[in-house]
Structures are given as C-alpha cells and as structure tokens.
Structure 1
C-alpha cells in the first residue's frame, strides 16, 4: 500500500503532480496533514509520521521514504510503464539521476538562499547562484524540448516545481519560461490545482 502524507500548497504538491501525471492516483492514498508554514499558520500534525513533521512523506508498506527527489524517483521507478523515469540500462539513466540530485543538492539551496537574502562566499563556492542555475537549464533546453531531450520525465516536474507556484521567480529566459508554461498546461495540472484549492478551503 502506498500512502502519501501531503499538505496542500507545499513542497509535496509536486508529488501529487507526478502521481496525476503518471495516472496512478488510484494506487496512492493521500492523507492530508498540517505543517507549520512560513506565515505562522499551521502546526506540526501528530498524525504525520515524518520525523521532522514535514511533507512529503511516502509510506510504502511500512517503509518510509522522505525528500521530494527521492519520492519522485521511487515512484517513477516503481511504475516504469508510465514512462516518467529513465530505466536502468538506458544510456540516459545517469543524466536523469544527475538532474534529480542536482535539484535537491544545488538548485533548491540556491533558491532558498536567494529568498532568505543570504550571500556569502562559501555559499557561492559550494552551490553557485541563480545565474548558474539559469545557464544549466537553458543549455539543456536548447537540446530539449525537455531536460532529457524528447522525454518528459519526473526531472522536469521536480525542477520546474518552484516556478509553477512562484511564477515571478522563473528566470527571465524565453526557453525556460516556455518550458514552465508547457508543463503548467499539461492536462492533469487543472485537476491538481482544483484538488489543492479544495483541500486548502477544507482546512
């Protein structure tokens, strides 16, 4: 049994996005939990088994998987027929993994540091900055239309996710903006937005 612990309009929304993209909504039970939010609302939910009270958290028959990139990679590999992964043995597997881990290890820290207004030589040396993130995405999309060339994968959904919710943070680059707009217009996105709004209203 697959159970996703989810808070609407949070980082776990991208997991919901992948679930609907892959057509596996009937295979995953979604449990809505509360989390502390930056505006001071919300609270840690005692029904959320995440050790830090965060989301997303995926429970697969009692095995807990946390961190967005890990969960998205796990689900994409678990349901390969949906074709949101690059399978083992494929020549593109390494590059696909690199995109997933680059987001978690580099891109999201760069975005968080920018939002927090943090600037320090150690941060720039370790993670670089938004200019380097933009350059990396642009170069990949020049060979696109997706990060993996002609394959739309979980990497596109993960890496575009901050720009889906915070449009103003999207780099001012035509290739990147077009990529984000194309992902936003994919058929299941309207369903995910409707569900998110419903859950927020219910909360």
Structure 2
C-alpha cells in the first residue's frame, strides 16, 4: 500500500485533496509528520523518511516519490479509474504532463520569487514573470472551463492550489479567477481545507 507523509496546512495538503477526489483514501496510508515552518515553528520529524524532511513524500515498497507534480502523476497512473489523470496513450497525456511540469518549473518558482520580492532579469528569462504566467493561464481558460478542456483534472487541482490557500496571490484575469473559484468549490477541497484550518485553532 502506498504511504503518504503529510503535514497539515502545507504543500502536501493538495495531495490529500487529490486522494479524496480520486476516491482512494482507503488505499493510501497517511502518516502525519511535522515540518519546519516559515515562522520558525515545527521541525524535522524522525518518522519522515524524506531525505530533506519535506512533505509530501510518497513511498511504496522500496520505491519513493517526491515533488507534488511527480506524486500527482504517480497516483493518477497508479489508480487510472479515477479519471483525474491522463494515462500513457491518452491523447492528452502530453498536455497533462506539461501542466504538471509547468507548475513545478514555472509557477511555484515565480510565485515564491514574487512573494520574496526578488528581482533579476535572469529569473524572468528562466522562469517568466507573474504577468506572463497569468497570461498563459488566461489564454487557455478564456476558451474552456478547465486546463484540459471541459473536465476537471488533477492539473486543475495542482495549479489552482496556491490561490486556494493564499487568496492574496489571486491574479486579476477574470477567466483565471473564475477557474480558481470553480476548483475551490469542489467538495473534497472544502472538506480538507476546513479540517486542516481547524487544526490551526486548536
């Protein structure tokens, strides 16, 4: 059975949402661990086998998967009946993988650099900037409700996740805002978000 190492209210929360969306909660063991937080709280957890004490981290037997995009691909390939992935041979397989890697290689670096107020021409050349990134999303979402067309998929979950947890980062483009709202209205996300935010008040 795959095992997910997870810290509530962290990047791994989106993988918990994915597991709920896929209907595979009974087929994944979830182990909650602590991680170092930006406010100085928390710290490495000896139960977490991730080599850098990060989450999410997925293991299955002697194999392991890290980085959210890779975990999304692994789980949707491992459980294809959920319909949230695009298996090998599917006509949208390339688009599915491209969006996953776009998130890891473009969106997250750009959002973190903007939050940290770090500017340099090399960063814009390599990773793009917020305007370019949001324009790319907008040009797709102006013509269809989700990134792969008419149906919600795991790429929508992953790419919309920063704006669900950090609404201040919401882009101004109406088509992107409407997409974030559609993704945020899904019952699985609302359930996980409510449960995990409740832990902050304990």
- Displacement after TM superposition at 1:198 (Å): 4.8
SS in 2 for 1:188: helix
What is residue 45 of structure 2 aligned with on the other side? 45
- The normalised TM-score by structure 1 is 0.96
Question: How much has 1:156 moved relative to structure 2?
Answer: 0.4
The question of whether the paired residues in 2 share the 8 Å contact of 1:8 and 1:200 is answered with: no
2:85 aligns with 85
Which residue is 1:123 aligned to? 123
Match of 2:114? Answer: 114
* Equivalence for 1:58: 58
Query: What CA deviation, in whole Å up to 9, does each residue of 1:135-181 have, x standing for no partner?
Result: 11001112211000112111101100100100110101111111111
Q: Tell me, yes or no, if the aligned pair for 1:3 and 1:30 is still in contact at 8 Å.
A: yes
What residue number does 2:167 align with? Answer: 167
* Backbone CA RMSD of aligned residues: 1.2
Distance 2:99 2:116 in 1: 24
1:178-193 equivalences in 2 (<5 Å): 178-193=178-193
The answer for unaligned runs of 5 or more in structure 2 is none
How high is the TM-score relative to the length of structure 2? 0.96
Equivalence for 1:195:
195
SS in 1 for 2:100: helix
> Could you list the runs of 5+ residues in structure 1 that have no partner in the other structure?
none
Which gives a bigger RCO, structure 1 or 2 (Cα 8 Å, sep 6+)?
1
Structure 2 Cα separation of the partners of residues 190 and 163 of structure 1? 14
* Residue 73 of structure 1: aligned partner: 73
Identify the residue that residue 35 of structure 1 maps to in structure 2.
Answer: 35
Kept in 2: contact 1:2–1:27 (CA 8 A): yes
Runs of 4+ residues over 6 Å off in structure 1: none
